[in-house]
Structure 1
Amino acid sequence: MQTHDMFITGVGSYLPQTVTVEQAVEQGLYPPDAVEEHQLGGAAVAGDVSAPEMALMAAEEAVKRSGGSPEEIDLLLYADTWHQGPDGWQPQYYVQRHLLGDKALGLEIRQGCNGMFSAIELAAGHLRAVPERRRALLVASDNYGTPLMDRWRSGPGFIIGDAASALVLDKEHGFAQLLSVTSGIVSESEEVHRYGEELFPPGCTSGREVDFAARSAAFNRRALTEAGGTRVWPKVHQLIGDIVRQSLDEAGIGLDDVTRVAMMNHSREITEQRFLAVLGLPLSRSTWEFGRMVGHIGASDQIVSLDHLVSTGELAPGDHMLLFSVGPGITVSSAVVKVLHDAPWRA
């Protein structure tokens, strides 16, 4: 979807302190042989700070940096991937109560690692639908430090970190222009993130620990024994290339015009061989060096990286950034952002 009429006025993040892999190995949390294999540096760990509290801090920063007031927000979208608080309660209203008030429509989005891409697409449509609507606040937040999640071992090639991110979309102006956002799906891979688990009762109600590595491995073993079972991953890799090309085409640029690319914060091997190789981009143009120190932070990977690059001046006026993600479904999402001028808060 072309989004040349959408601008980013503010970006915010909440990143708690990092626990390094060396500290995790000393505590018996992280396998020593995985340090060299994956070359990850650590994970941001929030402790007892809840996801909604982190979301509020990131949102406050994004709104303040935008130069506008909370009352000007017409839509709040809250993306998450893990439990946010008491059952029967929704986290977006916590941000709404403490920051926005009653004007904005508030919705929660459960789209896994791609949640912020879905939020961007939905926000663009919502703002375009009514001329008087101007601004949307998009938030993502997760704290995985709960008994059913082992952040150091539950994922194949990544460590799970805690964080929150936020951005303000505006129809009129901003320091950056959102040029496109695109998504696609390989629905026959739906089982990858749940394989071996019963649909009911949900694991969280019966105390089953989440182990994405075991689920993925079991799915792959079954695929090898079934006729045509191994076709899923080639389709996913094909979709990655297709979605990125479509996103670039809609943005009106080519890969050579991309200054930096942000994707999920995974191991160096996965980043280089599964993703960057498909795109034909070197590791040096990615945000891997930054991401390896904070972990895979749910739906916040790309927005926190964007915040880091514009706040440190690593993205200059005229630069293009490609944001890219693969999530459950399996869904693939991509967006292109052009920096128009230095972010106001850098001054």
Structure 2
Amino acid sequence: MKTDGVYVDTVGVHLPDEWVSAEKAVEEGLYDEYSIQYGTGLTGAYIAGDLPAVDMAVFAARQALGRSEEDVDSLDFHIHCTSVQQGPETCHLPGYILRELGAGDVPSVDVRHHSNGMLGAFEIAVGQMTGAAAASSVLVTGAENFTSPMIDRWKGFGTGFTASDAGAAVLFSGESGCAALRAINSGTLPELEQWHRGEESLLPFREKTNGASSVLELLSYFNQHVVPLDKCMEMIRDFELEIVHRSLVDAGLNASDLAWVVASNTDARMIDQMKMQPLGLPMSRSNWEFGRIFGHMGGCDMAVSLNHLLTTGQVAPGDHVLMTSSGPGWVSSSAVLTILDVPSWARQEASGNPA
């Protein structure tokens, strides 16, 4: 889907104060030495402790709004994306965030798209801005606190991830911004829906049917009984590459035109084999080197990496950035941005003088 008149105004990020290295996690028996030497290459994780995910979303949104010439009263729409449960079953998370921001009557939705949440929310924002709603200012927030009985942040997804806590926000404008959203596309690979469900009941709060107590056990069940892991990865690679190609075509670009590929913060082998090699690009054009420090932050990976590129001076006007992510379902999205300007708040942070 080609997009016109949709711009990234600002980005906001909140990272917890505590960062735990992979080496320390090994010392505490939370991680294994093999994963450090031969596995992920991810160096640690941010841990929020008892800080709720939605509060990190509020902090990130405040930063995004503080960097913008717009204010909270100008918001036309709000989207919040999540991976794990972030509050009581009956609460509406966007309502909490908007109240904390001091917003008035703003339409809002909660998107449970897991690691694909941020780009899934981008697509909803495009619909609001280019469709009948004619919204001119849309706030997207995301946040994760992976302190969950279903997820072991160090090895709960296998050797390819360490789960890190964070909050992130992207403020879209219909007028101007530091980057233009050139294209975005999404898809669903329903053959892999059961991968993250196993044999569990579709009725909530029922007795477990196969005894799975973690995400890793659900994944293992599917690979043992339904589709082998190597076949899953082959299906995902081909499926996601097709979505990426659609976005590049819609943006009028070739893979060789890309300055950066922002992928979810997983291990180097996965990014190289699933993203960079199929595109014919070297790992030096991926976000791997800085993403490995943060670990996987669910949908927040996209905004945190974009913020990092802007505030460290690693992008310049005219640079094209591909964002690609995926999540259970199996869902995947890709977006193409073109940097129009490095804004003053980013230049100040790049020079060591935070805005």
Distance of aligned partners of 1:236 and 1:307 in 2 relative to their CA distance in 1, 3 Å threshold: same
Moved more, 272-281 or 254-263: 272-281
Instruction: Report SS of the residue matched to 1:292.
Output: helix
Instruction: Render the CA deviation track for 1:153-192: whole Å, top value 9, x for unaligned.
Output: 1112101110111011111111111101111121111111
Does 1:344 pair with 2:344?
yes
Pick from 192, 195, 198 the counterpart of residue 192 of structure 1: 195
Q: How far apart, in 2, do the equivalents of 1:230 and 1:8 lie?
A: 37
Q: What aligned pairs does 1:84-123 form with structure 2 within 5 A after superposition?
A: 84-123=86-125
Give the equivalent residue in structure 2 for 1:324: 324
Q: Report which stretch shifted further, 287-296 or 143-152.
A: 143-152
Q: How big is the alpha-carbon RMSD for the aligned residues of Structure 1 and Structure 2?
A: 2.2
- CA distance in 1 between partners of 2:213 and 2:259 (Å): 36
Q: Distance in 1 between matches of 2:231 and 2:49?
A: 41
The number of equivalent residue pairs is 343
Quote the Cα distance in structure 2 between the aligned partners of 1:204 and 1:167: 39
Query: Which deviates the most, 81-90 or 333-342?
Result: 81-90
- Which secondary structure does the structure 2 equivalent of 1:4 belong to? coil
Aligned residues of 1:176 and 1:339 also touching (Cα < 8 A): yes
C-alpha displacement of 1:130: 4.5
Contact kept, 8 Å, 2:212 with 2:218, in 1: the verdict is no
Distance in structure 2 (CA, Å) of the matches to 1:332 and 1:124: 16
Amino acid at match of 1:241: L
Q: Distance in 1 between matches of 2:114 and 2:175?
A: 30
Q: Deviations over 1:61-116 (max 9, x none)?
A: 11111221110110010001111122311211111112142231111111111111
* 2:290 corresponding residue in structure 1: 290
CA distance in 2: counterparts of 1:224 and 1:164, whole angstroms: 34
Change (3 A) 1:307 1:328: same
> Is the Cα–Cα contact under 8 Å of residues 259 and 319 in structure 2 kept in the other structure?
yes
Q: 1:224 to 1:257 in 2, by over 3 A?
A: closer
Report matched runs for 1:31-70 at 5 Å.
Answer: 31-37=32-38, 38-70=40-72
Does the 8 A contact of 2:150 with 2:215 survive in 1? Answer: no
Shift of 1:237: 1.7
Q: Contact (CA 8 Å) 2:163, 2:296: kept in 1 or not?
A: yes
The 3 A distance-change label for structure 1 pair 108 and 259 is: same
Which residue of structure 2 lines up, in the alignment, with residue 127 of structure 1? 129
1:301 partnered with 2:301: yes
2-structure distance, mates of 1:90, 1:218:
32
Task: Name 2:139's counterpart in structure 1.
Answer: 137
Q: In 2 relative to 1, CA 287–202 (structure 1 residues): closer, same or farther, beyond 3 Å? A: farther
Deviation of the 1:35 alpha carbon:
0.9
1:291 alignment partner, SS class: helix
Q: Deviations over 1:182-209 (max 9, x none)?
A: 1112111111111243334448999x87
Counterpart of 1:136 in 2: which secondary structure?
Answer: strand
Q: 1:341, CA displacement in angstroms? A: 1.0
| 1:129 to partner: Cα distance | 2.9
The 1:91/1:131 distance shift into structure 2, 3 A limit, reads closer
User: Partners in 1 of 2:113 and 2:227 — Cα distance?
Assistant: 28
Choose 231-240 or 63-72, whichever is displaced more.
Answer: 231-240
Specify every segment of 5 or more residues in structure 1 that has no aligned partner in the other structure, as ranges: none
- TM-score normalised by L of structure 2: 0.91
**Cα deviation code 1:21-70 (max 9, x no counterpart):** 01101111111211112211011111111111100000011111122111
| Secondary structure of 1:190's aligned partner | helix
Match of 1:214 in 2: 217
Instruction: Please say if residues 201 and 208 of structure 2, whose CA atoms lie closer than 8 Å, have aligned partners that are also in contact.
Output: no
Which letter maps to 2:32? P
Letter in 2 for 1:173: S
Is the deviation greater in 19-28 or in 148-157? 148-157
What TM-score, normalized to structure 1?
0.93
Give the distance between the partners of 1:281 and 1:86, measured in 2 at CA. 44
Letter in 1 for 2:15: L
Whole-angstrom CA distance in 2 between matches of 1:211 and 1:239: 26
Distance 1:100 1:283 in 2: 42
* 2:274 aligned partner: 274
Work out the CA distance in 2 between the residues paired with 1:171 and 1:27: 49
| Partner SS, residue 68 of structure 1 | coil
List structure 1 runs of 4+ shifted beyond 6 angstroms: 203-206
Residue number among 175, 179, 203 corresponding to 1:172 in the alignment: 175
Q: Which position in structure 1 is the counterpart of 2:351?
A: none
SS in 2 for 1:3: coil
